[in-house]
Structure 1
Amino acid sequence: MSPRSWYLVYGIFLHVIWSGAAKVEFYSSVDSMQDLAQVEQELLNATRSYLETQQQQLNFYRRYVDQIKREHEWAVGQLKLDEYLGHPLHAFRLIKRLVQDWDALIFEPILTNQPREDFRQFSDVLTRDLGYPDQSELQGAIKGLARLQRVYNLSTSDLAGGVINGFSYDSELQWPMANFELGNTKRAGRLLNQILKPEPTHTAQQTRKYLENHEPGKKIQEKNPSWYGNYTRLCQGKRLPEESSGSPLKCYLDGKRHAYFTLAPLQVEPVHLDPDISVYHGMLNSQQILSIFEEADKEEMVRSAVAGEGGKRTVRDLRVSQQTWLDYTTPIMESVSRIIQFVSGFDMAGAEHMQVANYGVGGQYEPHPDYFEVNLPSQFEGDRISTSMFYLSDVEQGGYTVFTKLNVFLPPVKGALVMWHNLHRSLDVDVRTLHAGCPVIVGSKRIGNIWMHSGYQEFRRPCNLTSDSYKSAAYRKSV
């Protein structure tokens, strides 16, 4: 393999191994997609180098053949062939060419084609060793597009054309392919004709060959669950009309919760009462968030799973993201631990490690509770009494956090913290806290979750004299 090829392979190998991309899928995380884009850039560079080398060889072959052709024409046109061959130098050159030159300069390079072998080794490293995407990745991305189409009522033609909520994000060459994969084969054919009719040699002819040899995607027909209507409505930023329950909620500053906030009071945005859901703005700055990402980069990102029967965790399409876990031993995570302790009032001895998650193409988490209620993991000291979720990025479009039973939606705001209780003071589960992460339309959603367990909080959030369990029982009867 040529030095350049080895350099490219080695560079990709280090990049992918350090980032962990070879061990995870790509479409379920925008961060992993960035690794994949780097792989494609290296592939582009290697292919360009290969084509340049091949062109140089072809130019050499062409010059050599032209030279021999001219000599043959001169020998036949200007002299008789026997006169030409009668010259000892001409005879020597003819024999030398047939014995050595044609073999060394033409046959061997063409048959061995070392640049091609270098390129094959390079591609083998990509496809075999470095986690090159396969058909399942394409299907995952297609499912993501179909999910966006369903949740946000996007037309197939707009989505396939890269137009989302009036903004165009795509190029014309992608339109036929996207329509095809979304099941709109007729429109895909029309778009291809529009491109190829004025310019038959356009690269879209390769797209046509692909479409002619592949089955189109199928439009997904599903029976929607009972929560789906509220879910999609809230994801689109729409609430159901509801009667006023008193004075409207207002933002306020809170400098009395803990001495830590005396000089820099909490910026509190209450979004729901009973159960209490509050957004605390400006809890992390950009440098702190960057430090969290640097710590997360040191860990392996894996596809997010959901708890199933017997507490076993499985990968399912209802949750499309990647995640890793961070303990509180580093300076930045010690700071995060203090923030959660001072805001919540809970003992961090009952806190799980921080889960850092990133959402990919159509990334989402369908409505779910954070409590377990049953099948509690053996290492837990009590159920998850509260959720503290940091937004670690803004999201250009989509990606809201919605509470489907409470008529609440929250757009991600970088640096903000959302907090709520999953259990009543009686430690019964609060079924009203069912929530979801809406599909990301455009952008990258990054969050950090910290769940607190009830086992250490007896004196931090004691039960009332009167049990509040009736709230859950009453709510269950009303739905």
Structure 2
Amino acid sequence: MAPAMKIVFGLLTFVTVGMIIGAFLQLAFIHKLEVESYSRPGTIRLENDREAESLRLGYVKPEIISWFPRIIVLHNFLSMEECDYLRAIAMPRLQVSTVVDTKTGKGIKSDVRTSSGMFLSPNERKYPMIQQIEKRISVFAQVPVENGELMQVLRYEKNQFYKPHHDYFSDTFNLKRGGQRIATMLMYLSDNVEGGETYFPLAGDGDCICGGKTMKGLSVKPVKGDAILFWSMGLDGQSDPNSIHGGCEVLSGEKWSATKWMRQKVTS
């Protein structure tokens, strides 16, 4: 190789290596800023850092697990404090869970659902931490807060389950207030549960574990703080039958969850 070519080759190599090192240093610097912005109390590095903190920006990690139906797992969606807060509110008022009667719109007992639960009141919806969670749900789901139903907190004990069902309504009575349910945010509030997965039998093309059994479809294991966002309506605005889902049988421990249903129109 001619001396001139060696010099050119050496310069190109030096520049390339420098660019690579510079890119890594830039990524490291950005990561450092992100960590400091969201983990150090009182540190304000963003213009609206409080709102960023309430939305858990930098903590929530979305994972798309299905496009048909649309399902996204939002890792670290709730803080541990928020999970414990919702459980504490619900504990004294748990009652046997019901399903919606298509004729009256009222809750009725059914062997389809064997958990216990309660709904937050309109007044509790005004509590700062509840408002913070509802705003986060609205931002990630891109559905206005006022289109959401009252949040429901559920507890599944050993051998309890919720058979596969759709969240959208198939009757006209329940459509009168707020229209059709378009999306659901299901948030896990407890750990150390065996079984209790959320099961989507018509999602994916493989096998999954549901209550200790191998089944066709997709399932999401309960992890405290994680949430599942899925849509009951397709992009065409029609109800999506593939959004059928259920709560697998709990084999040990207690599974706690909170559910927020979102409608086409204002519900409150």
Equivalent position amino acid for 1:381 in 2: G
| Aligned equivalents of 2:156, 2:59: Cα separation in 1 | 31
Q: Do the aligned partners of residues 263 and 403 (structure 1) sit closer, same or farther apart at CA in structure 2, a change above 3 Å counting?
A: closer
User: Which residue of structure 2 lines up, in the alignment, with residue 305 of structure 1?
Assistant: 98
Task: Map 1:330-409 onto structure 2 (within 5 A).
Answer: 330-377=127-174, 380-406=177-203, 407-409=217-219
Deviation at 1:376, TM superposition (A): 3.6
Q: Deviations over 1:372-425 (max 9, x none)?
A: 131442652111110000000124311011111111111111100100110123
Q: Secondary structure at the match of 2:61?
A: strand
Deviation at 1:317, TM superposition (A): 1.5
Residue 119 (structure 2) pairs with residue 322 (structure 1): no
One of 238, 241, 260 as aligned partner of 1:450: 260
Bigger Rg, which one? 1
Q: Secondary structure at the match of 2:138?
A: helix
Equivalent position amino acid for 1:418 in 2: I
Q: Does the aligned pair in 2 maintain the 1:382–1:454 contact within 8 Å?
A: yes
Q: Secondary structure at the match of 1:370?
A: coil
User: Which residue of structure 2 lines up, in the alignment, with residue 207 of structure 1?
Assistant: none
Give the helix-richer structure, 1 or 2: 1
Q: Does the aligned pair in 2 maintain the 1:376–1:383 contact within 8 Å?
A: no
| Aligned equivalents of 2:56, 2:81: Cα separation in 1 | 22
User: Which residue of structure 2 lines up, in the alignment, with residue 281 of structure 1?
Assistant: 75
Any unmatched runs of 5+ in structure 1?
1-254, 458-479
Deviation at 1:309, TM superposition (A): 4.1
User: Which residue of structure 2 lines up, in the alignment, with residue 269 of structure 1?
Assistant: 63
Between the two proteins, the alignment pairs up a number of residues equal to 199
Equivalent position amino acid for 1:306 in 2: V
Structure with the larger RCO, 1 or 2 (CA within 8 Å, 6+ apart):
2
| Aligned equivalents of 1:346, 1:308: Cα separation in 2 | 26
Q: Secondary structure at the match of 1:337?
A: helix
User: Which residue of structure 1 lines up, in the alignment, with residue 21 of structure 2?
Assistant: none
Question: Percent same amino acid at aligned positions?
Answer: 27
Q: Secondary structure at the match of 2:254?
A: coil
Q: Does the aligned pair in 1 maintain the 2:152–2:260 contact within 8 Å?
A: yes
TM-score by length of 1: 0.39
One of 68, 87, 99 as aligned partner of 1:293: 87
Q: Secondary structure at the match of 2:174?
A: coil
Q: Do the aligned partners of residues 413 and 379 (structure 1) sit closer, same or farther apart at CA in structure 2, a change above 3 Å counting?
A: same
Q: Secondary structure at the match of 2:126?
A: coil
Q: Does the aligned pair in 2 maintain the 1:373–1:429 contact within 8 Å?
A: no
Q: Secondary structure at the match of 2:89?
A: helix
| Aligned equivalents of 1:409, 1:263: Cα separation in 2 | 26
Q: Deviations over 1:107-163 (max 9, x none)?
A: xxxxxxxxxxxxxxxxxxxxxxxxxxxxxxxxxxxxxxxxxxxxxxxxxxxxxxxxx
Equivalent position amino acid for 1:281 in 2: H
Q: Deviations over 1:37-65 (max 9, x none)?
A: xxxxxxxxxxxxxxxxxxxxxxxxxxxxx
Deviation at 1:331, TM superposition (A): 1.8
Task: Map 1:78-477 onto structure 2 (within 5 A).
Answer: 260=52, 264=58, 266-297=60-91, 300-310=93-103, 311-326=105-120, 327=122, 328-377=125-174, 380-406=177-203, 407-456=217-266
Q: Do the aligned partners of residues 379 and 336 (structure 1) sit closer, same or farther apart at CA in structure 2, a change above 3 Å counting?
A: farther
Q: Do the aligned partners of residues 292 and 265 (structure 1) sit closer, same or farther apart at CA in structure 2, a change above 3 Å counting?
A: closer
Equivalent position amino acid for 1:320 in 2: T
Equivalent position amino acid for 2:154 in 1: A
Give the strand-richer structure, 1 or 2: 2
Deviation at 1:339, TM superposition (A): 1.0
User: Which residue of structure 1 lines up, in the alignment, with residue 206 of structure 2?
Assistant: none
TM-score by length of 2: 0.69
Q: Secondary structure at the match of 2:260?
A: strand
| Aligned equivalents of 1:307, 1:371: Cα separation in 2 | 11
| Aligned equivalents of 2:197, 2:71: Cα separation in 1 | 15
| Aligned equivalents of 2:148, 2:185: Cα separation in 1 | 10
Q: Does the aligned pair in 2 maintain the 1:402–1:435 contact within 8 Å?
A: yes
Deviation at 1:426, TM superposition (A): 3.6
Equivalent position amino acid for 2:163 in 1: E
| Aligned equivalents of 2:57, 2:128: Cα separation in 1 | 22
Deviation at 1:275, TM superposition (A): 2.2
Deviation at 1:273, TM superposition (A): 1.2
| Aligned equivalents of 1:263, 1:398: Cα separation in 2 | 30
| Aligned equivalents of 2:224, 2:181: Cα separation in 1 | 25
